[in-house]
Amino acid sequence: MFGLLSTLSQVLKLGPRGFVRQKFKLPFVKFIHDTVDLYKKRTKSGVNSIRDILFRGTVIALITAVLVWLSIFMYVAFYYVYVPTISHERPVFLKFKPCGNANSCKEYKEVCSFPSAHVQLTKRQQLLMTGQPYRIHLDLEMPESPTNRALGMFMVCADFRDGEGQLIANSCRSTMLHYRGALLDTMYKLVFSPFYVLGTAEEKQNIHVELFSNYEEQEFQPVTDIYIEIQSQHIEIYSAKFLLNANFAGLRYVMFNWPVLSAALGITANLFFIALVCLLSWYQIINSEEYLNFLKKEEEGKIENIKDCFDSDSSSDSADDRSETKEIYNSGGEKDYLLSKNE
């Protein structure tokens, strides 16, 4: 009852327009202003949080990419340092001394010296990897001519020398054409006669002569030149080539024959150890005395800033209260001001 009487008295003194303004319009405007301000603050904090998330995600992605590429680079570098080239091939150009006088017009078909050749492996200091076994052989392409068939066995010798011409290793091996009987040879020629006519096949054999089965390079005396001699004056040869094949074992064998699996394991191991080193380094940094002092000073600065903001907010709130009180006092009189304070 008392509230109704006080409301009627306020309507009579303020008038309907002043009463509606004081009791409905001003509170509604204040509610709208507070709501908008609240959503502004939430939007601003949401934008800041999204920026922080994007920044942190970008930093993490960049660090991860750097670590992955560093792991790949380390594995590739280790592979090319640890695993040598699987094969080296050099052509062999045989030369010999013909019989007879060079100034004579008479032609001589006979060979008066053993066919020989000089093969230069490298002009650098070293071609082969120290400690790696190599299988070394000479491939001869020989026609199945009557001369070669009647030749029988012959010797192939090779001298390994360094850049100063000193002998490092020597090897001699015997070999011959593969034998085929008269019946088998006739059947073979009948079957392949169309290919012989068309020129897609020839009557020849590739002779594989293994000079070293497990040769290892010396560290302080590398091989740079090889001298080859075929000890037969009646041999007929189309061409020859010198081959050095690495005989892998252990880790080199796995890395060469299973490159995808070894690369995955190697890169993963590198990434794990790099990440472990980075984490240990970060742990040492964040627990260092200098970093802890820096964090302490930064925390003290934040506390001072919060106190300053709190003081400024308190002063602004008191000023708003004083302005609102003055407005109510001017619009409703002293009695209305006291009633509003009691409510």
Quote the CA–CA distance of 79 and 259 in Å, as a whole number.
10
DSSP β-bridge partners for residue 134:
215, 246
Confidence of residue 338 (pLDDT cuts 50, 70, 90): very low
Q: What percent of the chain lies above the pLDDT cut of 70? A: 73
Q: What is the pLDDT of residues 72-102, one digit of tens each?
A: 999 999 998 888 888 899 999 999 888 766 5
pLDDT band at 239 (very low <50, low <70, confident <90, very high): very high
pLDDT in tens, 25-58: 566 666 666 676 776 777 766 667 777 788 788 8
Res. 314 pLDDT band, cuts 50 70 90: low
pLDDT of residue 210: 92
Between vectors from CA 314 to CA 312 and to CA 317, what angle results, nearest 5°? 110
CA distance 152 to 148: 7
Closest Cα partner for 227 from 88, 87, 95, 85? 95
Residues 6+ apart with CB under 8 A from 323: none
At 126 the three-state DSSP class reads coil
Helix (H) or strand (E) holding 82: helix 26-82
Once rounded to an integer, what is the mean pLDDT over residues 225-229? 93
Fold of 87-247: Jelly Rolls (2.60.120)
What is the token pair recorded at 81?
A: 């340092």
Note the pLDDT of residue 337: 43
Q: How does residue 9 score in pLDDT terms, banded at 50, 70 and 90?
A: low
- CA dist 235 and 147 (Å) reads 7
Q: Which two tokens stand for residue 85?
A: 């080239």
The band of 310, judged by pLDDT with boundaries at 50, 70 and 90, is low
- pLDDT for position 7: 63
What average pLDDT does the segment 233-261 reach?
90
Residue 320 has pLDDT above 60, yes or no: no
Q: Could you tell me the pLDDT band of residue 124, with boundaries at 50, 70 and 90?
A: confident
pLDDT at 109 over 50: yes
Angle (CA) 55-58-64 rounded to 5° is 140
Q: How far is CA 78 from CA 219, 249, 267, 301, in A?
A: 20, 17, 11, 50
Q: Mean pLDDT throughout 193-205?
A: 86
Domain ranges of the chain: 87-247
Q: What is the mean pLDDT of the chain?
A: 79
Per DSSP, the three-state class of 152 is coil
> What span, in angstroms and rounded, lies between the C-alpha atoms of 119 and 227?
6
Q: What is the pLDDT of residue 20?
A: 61
Q: How confident is the model at residue 297 (pLDDT cuts 50, 70, 90)?
A: confident
Q: Is the pLDDT of residue 63 over 80?
A: yes
Which residue did the predictor score with more confidence, 292 or 65?
A: 65
CB-CB neighbours of 279 under 10 Å: 10
Order the strands of the 116-120 sheet from edge to edge: 116-120, 225-231, 154-161, 167-175
Mean pLDDT, residues 100-128: 76
Q: Please, how many CA atoms are within 13 Å of residue 28, restricted to the half-sphere of its CB?
A: 6
Q: How many CB atoms lie within 10 A of CB 235?
A: 19
For residues 270 and 71, is the Cβ–Cβ distance under 8 A? yes
Segment 231-245 shows an average pLDDT of: 91
Q: What is the predicted pLDDT for the residue at 130?
A: 86
Residue 16 has pLDDT above 70, yes or no: no
